[in-house]
Structure 1
Amino acid sequence: MTEKERELQRKAMEEIKKHEDTVKSDPFRLTYHLMPPVGLLNDPNGWIKWNGTYHMFFQWNPFKTAHGAKFWGHYTSTDLVHWKEEPIALAPSEWYEKNGCYSGSAVDHEGTLKLIYTGNVKGEQGERESYQCIATSTDGVTFTKEGPVIDTLPEGYTAHFRDPKVWHDGNEWLLVIGAQTEDEKGLVLLYRSQDMKTWEFAGPVAGAGIGSIDEFGYMWECPDLFHLEGKDVLVVSPQGLEPEGMKYHNTYQAGYLIGELDSKTPIFHHGLFEELDRGFEFYAPQTTEDDQGRRILVGWMGVPDQDEHLHPTRENEWIHSLTLPRELHIRADRVIQKPVEELKALRKNEVSHRNVVVNKDETAYEGVFGKSLELQLSNFENLEGTFEVSLRGSARMVYDTEAQVFTFERISFATRLVEKRQCHLESLNSVRTYVDSSSVEIFINDGQEVFTSRFFPSPENEEITFRASTDTTVTIQKWDMKQVTE
């Protein structure tokens, strides 16, 4: 570790210590989600299970609740529930990363944990340079930087060239990276290597001008290409999409394409783009395959440039969190997301109301309240008209059987007005909702649709109520959730 890197890490630790009491005093601090110890968190990085331990790195600015020269923070876990804060993995200390150690991924390479990430450099006039860099570790905690391994741009592309995701296909190392053409169109590019040191540019595999896509946004960030249940899936975060019906209403989107990768040509043959999450805050997800063969996704519970300066937690020197880990499957040519089984270990104090009749009178059921909880609704009968659940006076879920539309509403922290996100849903069979101090994650019909959002109710309001336009029978189960973060 260089002296400059050691100094940056020391200053970051001073910020944690300086604001520790303020951060912990925030009533919106989450109880079972990963958050920054101070400052701003964004993209999950280097998500991997290595030598029996899950490693979650994340983009982190420890010095302010805004974007800037990013570090890589680091948490580890053996069970996906309890997490340990590790020493800072990467600090922007070298010339090739002086304006930030941007997003990237991790692999096991010959027994070492290897990070590959984007080094970001900006000139005095805002001109940008991008370098794809390597850092290695033998213990999973201390990393040695090896510098850039891709230090030139392909012809015709801008320096918006970042977020490498690496995997081994059994024959060679492959890498996908987000890119932008000089005429500002987004694509994903493919590289290949035999040794993780020398990388050959293979060409674009998806995006503007590839296959059926004419253009689809001006930049594609955080690509992740993997095999799942007989299909190849490309997860990507395109920027610059216009709203279309009930789709694309956040500032930037995150979604997936299902198809087949031909790495030799190269091209990714795929179907239509689908959003992964219908909520207000979800971006830059990354997946890993663990030693049980599960494909597990974690996303950033935030969106760049989307009212970040108005988040109320900034007053207490922190902003943003990561989502709960989700196991991915394919059902009817769609990616579905299920909370990982390990999360059931967080449950305590079960309350169950089986086959209750919800009617037009807004009703609270005994024991069904709280700030940090899991709520499960199932066994719907006679569901007609509308069925709704109000969460802590600041958010609401509504299903309209006639319109076949599921709506999530919240009171905006930016305007204090009601705002909504929606999706088409032919039937409502189950709803599994995770409510934390200032977040909601809703899994509908066993993960068919997901809504992820932050919300900021009155800390004193723990009320959950139910109402239906016609008498509807439903089973309501609720668990309090154990606190695993400060």
Structure 2
Amino acid sequence: MDRNYDLIRQAEEMFKKYKDVVNEDEYRLHFHLMPPVGLLNDPNGFIQWQGRYHLFYQWNPFQTAHGAKFWGHYSSSNLVDWRKEKIALAPSEWYEKNGCYSGSAVEDNGILKLLYTGNVKDEYGNRETYQCLAESENGVDFIKKGVVLRLPEGYSAHFRDPKVWKRNEKWFMVIGAQTKQLEGRAVLFASNNLEDWTLIGDVAGTNLNGLQNFGYMWECPDLFRLGDNDILLVSPQGLQRTGMLYQNVYNTGYFIGTLDYETGKLEHGNFQELDRGFEFYAPQTTVDEKGRRLLFGWMGVPEQDEDLHPTISHHWIHAMTIPRELKLVNGQIYQNPVEELKKLRRNKVSKNNAIVHEEKKTFASFEGTAYELLINIHEIKAEAFEIILKDSVWIIYNKKECVFTLERKSMKTGEPEIRQCKLSNLSIIQIFVDTSSIEIFLNDGQEVFTSRMFPSVKNPNITFGSYHGKVLCSIQKWDLHQQ
């Protein structure tokens, strides 16, 4: 029997076997993309092709742990209503037998093409890596074309996640890499046909351009224009916690600069974290027909308490973020939920000029399981403003110290744990709460916190509080549901 067909059949059987168990989970999300079964991680191949959005994803259908990855596939006409498509890639060939790892999608003469990393391990765990190509005429059925790039000299086998784009009739590809000296790098290649690639040089990395000790491996790079600048979005592994920064096991952020396409070098400024929450990693962007730079991120982090997620007992783990639009504002990337998500809104309730004065306070009809909460802050004459959701997540702005805090109970210890950022003022809080996730957008996307949360019971409570003074704000809430 054909190995590709057999693997896909086995994966579909796992989906059918556990479909009811998965869907019975009280933590199953309402408006986020999730695996039908098993483990989901990196977004892959995000593209709008022939008017339809396609999002592929790293997928292990057989376990809620990392293993030989497939490419799962969703598509949508509007970024809201998603359809599960056929499995795009299964690890069936010699050059990918231990996983079809992350990559990207492009259109070439009407053909949808996927470039991805083939992962191979021998019996002793030694790794080989290959960059591979697959093609589709209908966006659903893919034919593998094989290896298009082998490992260059000077790099370890941790060399993966090709992100490809076209510029002036030439193709370029950036790859996440590690040097033989265990330094994280992003590496640039060029091609005229997507099959024959020439190494240009290192874009950025540890011990380049003043970056000392900045990670031993750089994963999932994405290189694109935003405004008049080149942006390198990347997930370095091995950053040391510094104050409020780099608090997760692995972290994601970006450099703003100017790319020299002849040398491959990016002249850039400081690294800035993209998301401050507990679970955010390996994002990928695309440009749609409206000219928007859109992003999906993985709502998870590798090796960060993954075995403690309660969804595992229902044979699934992890999800994608909501889709976001990126803009560059005063030297910083702002992220905002895409406009189309307003189609999910139902049952609006409002409270204008609400006053919270040194108390814990609730408002009639302000509760829910899956909802959007929009708070316009008119005045803070208090040391701190607090919002408590589901009695398990605390959102706190300390005006006196100019610090925003997201607090939840640790999955490991049950004790409080926090993520924070400095914020000189706070005027707007937009919160997307799903059954077991929260995404917080501050000041029209200036700072974003993405996290999973697992309240001990289904709890609809929304509570507001202030300390040593009063807060004046207007609040709107919508239930969020698919049609």
| Same-fold call, TM cutoff 0.5 | yes
Q: Which residue of 1 aligns with 2:242?
A: 244
CA distance in 1 between counterparts of 2:342 and 2:381 reads 28
2:377/2:426 contact within 8 Å kept = no
> Residue 276 in 1 paired to residue 256 in 2?
no
Offset, 1:436: 0.1
Q: Cα deviation per residue 1:227-254 (whole Å; 9 max; x = unaligned)?
A: 0111110000000011000000100000
Offset, 1:458: 3.0
CA distance in 1 between counterparts of 2:316 and 2:99 reads 19
Aligned counterparts, 1:56-455, within 5 A: 56-151=55-150, 153-455=151-453
1:70/1:99 contact within 8 Å kept = yes
Q: Cα deviation per residue 1:249-281 (whole Å; 9 max; x = unaligned)?
A: 100000000011111022001100010000000
Q: Which residue of 1 aligns with 2:458?
A: 460
1:192/1:200 contact within 8 Å kept = yes
CA distance in 2 between counterparts of 1:171 and 1:62 reads 38
Local SS of the residue matching 1:161: strand
Q: Which residue of 2 aligns with 1:55?
A: 54
Offset, 1:209: 2.9
Aligned length: 482
Offset, 1:50: 0.3
CA distance in 1 between counterparts of 2:7 and 2:360 reads 54
Local SS of the residue matching 2:291: coil
CA distance in 2 between counterparts of 1:202 and 1:85 reads 38
Local SS of the residue matching 1:158: strand
Q: Which residue of 2 aligns with 1:42?
A: 41
2:174/2:187 contact within 8 Å kept = yes
Offset, 1:203: 1.2
**Cα 1:383/1:337, change in 2 over 3 Å:** farther
Q: What residue identity is the alignment partner of 2:370? A: S
Which runs of at least 4 in structure 1 moved beyond 2 Å after TM superposition?
none
Structure 1: tracts of 5 or more residues without a match:
none
Q: What residue identity is the alignment partner of 2:114? A: L
2:35/2:319 contact within 8 Å kept = yes
CA distance in 1 between counterparts of 2:166 and 2:360 reads 54
CA distance in 1 between counterparts of 2:369 and 2:273 reads 28
Q: What residue identity is the alignment partner of 1:322? A: M
1:311/1:414 contact within 8 Å kept = no
2:409/2:416 contact within 8 Å kept = yes
2:183/2:207 contact within 8 Å kept = no
CA distance in 2 between counterparts of 1:411 and 1:107 reads 41
Local SS of the residue matching 1:148: strand
Q: Cα deviation per residue 1:109-131 (whole Å; 9 max; x = unaligned)?
A: 11100000000000111100000
CA distance in 2 between counterparts of 1:254 and 1:405 reads 21
Q: What residue identity is the alignment partner of 2:140? A: V
Offset, 1:471: 1.3
Offset, 1:148: 0.5
Offset, 1:146: 0.1
CA distance in 2 between counterparts of 1:253 and 1:214 reads 16
Q: Which residue of 2 aligns with 1:483?
A: 482
CA distance in 1 between counterparts of 2:459 and 2:125 reads 46
Q: What residue identity is the alignment partner of 1:311? A: H
Offset, 1:453: 0.1
CA distance in 2 between counterparts of 1:383 and 1:82 reads 42
CA distance in 2 between counterparts of 1:412 and 1:366 reads 30
CA distance in 2 between counterparts of 1:431 and 1:297 reads 20
CA distance in 1 between counterparts of 2:420 and 2:200 reads 39
RMSD: 0.9
CA distance in 2 between counterparts of 1:32 and 1:266 reads 39
1:355/1:379 contact within 8 Å kept = no
Offset, 1:382: 3.5
2:163/2:173 contact within 8 Å kept = yes
Offset, 1:214: 2.8
Q: What residue identity is the alignment partner of 1:246? A: M
Q: What residue identity is the alignment partner of 1:339? A: P
Local SS of the residue matching 2:360: coil
Q: What residue identity is the alignment partner of 1:148? A: V
Q: Which residue of 1 aligns with 2:470?
A: 471
1:283/1:302 contact within 8 Å kept = yes
Local SS of the residue matching 1:382: strand
CA distance in 2 between counterparts of 1:464 and 1:37 reads 30
CA distance in 2 between counterparts of 1:43 and 1:265 reads 29
2:164/2:172 contact within 8 Å kept = yes
Offset, 1:208: 1.9
CA distance in 2 between counterparts of 1:367 and 1:323 reads 27
| Percent pairwise identity | 55
Q: Cα deviation per residue 1:2-43 (whole Å; 9 max; x = unaligned)?
A: 811000000000000110110000000000000000000000
Offset, 1:383: 3.6
Q: Cα deviation per residue 1:126-145 (whole Å; 9 max; x = unaligned)?
A: 10000000000000000000
1:207/1:215 contact within 8 Å kept = no
Q: What residue identity is the alignment partner of 1:132? A: Q
Structure 2: tracts of 5 or more residues without a match:
none
**Cα 1:215/1:171, change in 2 over 3 Å:** farther
Q: Which residue of 2 aligns with 1:24?
A: 23
